Amino acid sequence: MLDPFCGTGTTLAVRVAYGMAENADPLAFLLELNLACAAKEKAGEKITPPGLPLSEAVRCAFVTEDCVRLGEI
């Protein structure tokens, strides 16, 4: 039996992050968003890439090297 709540957190996060309507299909919504971004990029318009849209000086306050590395496990 499939878990009806499987992926719920991800779906909710996508809805909130992109302002997606509650009744919208997440995959269709993201495909439409991706196609719109690709069209803008092709036309030479600036798009915001994934990640923190911050200058390098501000970004360093959020990105650190303190993580568990595979060789350390």
Share of the chain above pLDDT 90, in %: 21
The length of the chain, given as a count of residues: 73
Tell me how many degrees the CA angle 47-52-68 measures, rounded to the nearest 5. 140
Count Cα neighbours of 20 within 13 Å in the Cβ-side half-sphere. 21
Distance, CA of 11 to CA of 22 (rounded, Å): 10
Query: What average pLDDT does this structure show over 9-22?
Result: 78
- What number is the average pLDDT over the span 43-49? 88
Q: Is the pLDDT of residue 41 over 90?
A: yes
Band (37; pLDDT cuts 50, 70, 90): very high
Name which residue leads in pLDDT, 40 or 50. Answer: 40
